[in-house]
Every structure is written in C-alpha cells, then in structure tokens.
C-alpha cells in the first residue's frame, strides 16, 4: 500500500527490526490469537474517573425520575409505562458504555515488527510498510497511535475519556449506541421534568413529591441541567459519528485532511460494515456478540491496558 503524504508525517520512518532485536514473533502471534478471549481495559486515572462519573450521573437521573417523579404520581399506568421506558433506556445506555469501554477498539499487536512477520506478509516489490517506533509494530493503513492507550488503533476515530477507551474499528458501533441511548433518555427525562413541574405548580408542592419542596426543587433543577448537558453533548457526538461512518472517514482523518488511499464505503455500506449485516433491530442491541469470559487477571507489560 502506498501511503499518502499525510501518512508520511504521521510516523517516523525507521528501519525494520534486525535479526538480533529482542522481539519474539511467537509470543506476538500467540497474544494476537488470544486477544479475542480477553476483556480490554485501560488503566488511565482520568478515564476511570470520567467513566465512574458517567455511571453516577445516569444512576442519579434514574433515582430522580423513579423516586421523585413517578412513584408519588397518582396515575398508576403513567408511572409504570414511563418507569419501564426510562429504565430500559438507562440499562441499554450503560450496557453500551460497558461494551465500548471493555472492547478492544482494534489494537495492533505490540512487537510484531519482526523479519519473520514481514516475510509472511508477502509484499510486492515497491510496496512500502511502516513501523511505529512507539509500540514497535507494523502500522496498518488508517491506524494511528494513541498516546493514552500506548497502542496503534485501527481506524482510530478519537480517544474518549468518558468511556475510558479509544473509539476504533471494533467498538465504534457500541459508542454510537451509547450516545444514542443517552440522548433518548435525556429527552425522556426532560419531558418528565416539564410535566412534573407543571403538576407541582398547578397543585401543592407537598403533594407532588414524597420529598420536601426545597429538596424536590433542587433535585429537579439538577436533573434538568444534567439532561440538557447530556443531550447536547451526546446528540452532537451521535450526529458526528453517523456522518463519519457514512463518509467512511474518521475524525482524525478529517482533521488532518488525509486523502483516502482506500476504497470508501459510503452511506449504507459504511453503516453495514460498522453495525454488521443489513439493517435490522440487531443494530440497536448492545448485547449482540456478547459472551462471558473467565476472569483471569493478566497484567500486560509495556502499556496501560490489562486483560482478564
């Protein structure tokens, strides 16, 4: 593959590993084989704090919606329908968040820049291949090195601290679902907030909630602010991600104005490649492809990630 001019500036051109370099190709291939059986997790302090904050904010919204607005309501079916709907959206949002955070985004195996691996690629004469000097691996086309994950990530879009992971080739669909479900739950919470506020203004504040009026007002105001901020952020991110998928262009490629050297998959073809298969309700399901794995703590050297 002939890289573009922008790609030449992306990485330094280093000579390939010599025969006496200390990289074992067998260990690299075995780690690549076992990658699918491991749960990916980035040990980044800022990312872990942001991920915990995301969960706490969703739990707070669920608490206010359920215990402040729905349970005190005298309309039984109003409480049941809205309670089930909001909690389903919250579960789907948090499940999508977990899948985004714990899924390998498409990391290139470390230390695969060996003479044996180069020979196995069977490159044509004149083909150019580059080695990432930071994680010592052959860098595939459209891959970029993440300074937080300490890995080269295939089709890396960006690193998001709120999911404590890169958004890349293998977990972009879960990130899109996460932003979509958070935006939907925020809209639902704002609608319930408006109805609750009207109900309290028309009636008695002491009767519209089991909490005291000052506590109720404070909880509702915080919920309103959270809903507005969450909806604005996730709606913009959702639209940006859908636009990138339909154009088959990552955010990094767009910012660097990289000219495509690959065959683009536009619109529905791009959506199919990210979500898998033709359009169906399975696109909305964050549990597709999920399977339980044995929890075996295996700290990995040379990077901030570990696998279980």
pLDDT in tens, 141-166: 888 889 898 888 999 999 999 999 99
Strands (E), 92-186: 130-132, 137-139, 143-146, 151-154, 158-160, 165-167
Residue 113: predicted pLDDT:
67
Tokens for 184? Answer: 């939907």
Distances (CA, A) of 239 to 245, 255, 279: 10, 17, 18
- What distance, in Å, lies between the first and last C-alpha atoms of the chain? 35
For residues 304 and 128, the model is more confident at 128
DSSP strand pairing (40-42 vs 305-307):
antiparallel
pLDDT over 70 (residue 78): yes
φ, ψ (nearest 5 deg) of residue 305: -95, 155
SS3 267: coil
Residue 255: predicted pLDDT:
83
Most confidently modeled range among 111-115, 285-289, 300-304: 285-289
CA contacts within 13 A on the Cβ side of 253:
21
Number of Cβ within 10 Å of residue 44's Cβ equals 19
Residue 289: predicted pLDDT:
76
What stretch of H or E contains 305? Answer: strand 305-307
88 given a catalytic annotation = no
Question: Which residues lie closer than 8 Å to 263 by C-beta, 6 or more apart?
Answer: none
Residue 91: predicted pLDDT:
97
Number of Cβ within 10 Å of residue 250's Cβ equals 23
Average pLDDT value for residue range 178-202 = 93
Catalytic residue among 149, 152, 160, 208: 160
CB 154, CB 142: distance < 8 Å: yes
How far is Cα 249 from Cα 233, in angstroms, rounded to an integer?
A: 21
How far is Cα 300 from Cα 114, in angstroms, rounded to an integer?
A: 20
CA R_g for the chain: 24
Residue 34: predicted pLDDT:
53
φ, ψ (nearest 5 deg) of residue 132: -75, 120
Most confidently modeled range among 102-106, 188-192, 262-266, 286-290: 188-192
Residue 136: predicted pLDDT:
77
φ, ψ (nearest 5 deg) of residue 155: 45, 45
CB 308, CB 295: distance < 8 Å: yes
CB 245, CB 168: distance < 8 Å: no
Tokens 């990916």 locate to: 40
For the chain, what is the mean pLDDT?
80
For residues 116 and 66, the model is more confident at 66
pLDDT band at 139 (very low <50, low <70, confident <90, very high): confident
pLDDT over 60 (residue 307): no
pLDDT tens readout for residues 206-234: 777 888 888 988 999 999 999 999 999 99
Paired strand residues for 138: 131
Residue 304: predicted pLDDT:
52
Residue 21: predicted pLDDT:
40
CB 95, CB 58: distance < 8 Å: no
Conformation bin of residue 289: beta by default, left when phi > 0, alpha when psi is -120 to 50: left
Stated pTM of the model? 0.81
pLDDT band at 25 (very low <50, low <70, confident <90, very high): very low
């Amino acid at each position: 593959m002939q890289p573009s001019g922008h790609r030449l500036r992306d990485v330094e051109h280093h000579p390939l590993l010599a025969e006496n370099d200390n990289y074992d190709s067998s260990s690299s291939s075995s780690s690549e084989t076992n990658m699918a059986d491991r749960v990916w997790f980035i040990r980044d302090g800022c990312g872990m704090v942001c991920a915990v904050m995301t969960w706490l904010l969703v739990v707070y919204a669920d608490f206010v919606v359920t215990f402040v607005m729905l349970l005190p309501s005298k309309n039984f079916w109003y409480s049941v329908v809205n309670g089930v709907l909001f909690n389903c959206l919250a579960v789907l949002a948090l499940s999508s968040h977990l899948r985004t955070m714990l899924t390998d985004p498409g990391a290139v195996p470390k230390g695969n820049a060996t003479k044996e691996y180069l020979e196995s690629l069977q490159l044509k004469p004149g083909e150019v291949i580059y080695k990432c000097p930071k994680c010592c691996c052959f860098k595939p086309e459209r891959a970029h090195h993440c300074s937080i994950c300490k890995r080269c990530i295939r089709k890396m879009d960006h690193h998001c601290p709120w999911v404590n992971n890169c958004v890349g080739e293998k977990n972009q669909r879960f990130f899109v679902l996460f932003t979509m479900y958070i935006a939907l739950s925020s809209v639902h919470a704002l609608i319930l907030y408006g109805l609750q506020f009207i109900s309290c203004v028309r009636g008695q504040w002491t009767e519209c909630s089991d909490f005291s009026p000052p506590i109720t007002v404070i909880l509702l105001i915080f919920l309103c602010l959270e809903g507005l901020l969450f909806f604005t952020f996730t709606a913009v991110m959702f639209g940006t991600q859908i636009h990138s998928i339909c154009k088959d262009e990552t955010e990094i490629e767009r910012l660097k104005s990289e000219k495509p050297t690959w065959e683009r998959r536009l619109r529905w073809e791009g959506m199919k490649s990210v979500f898998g298969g033709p359009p169906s309700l399975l696109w909305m399901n964050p549990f597709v492809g999920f399977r339980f794995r044995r929890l075996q703590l295996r700290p990995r050297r040379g990077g901030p990630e570990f696998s279980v």
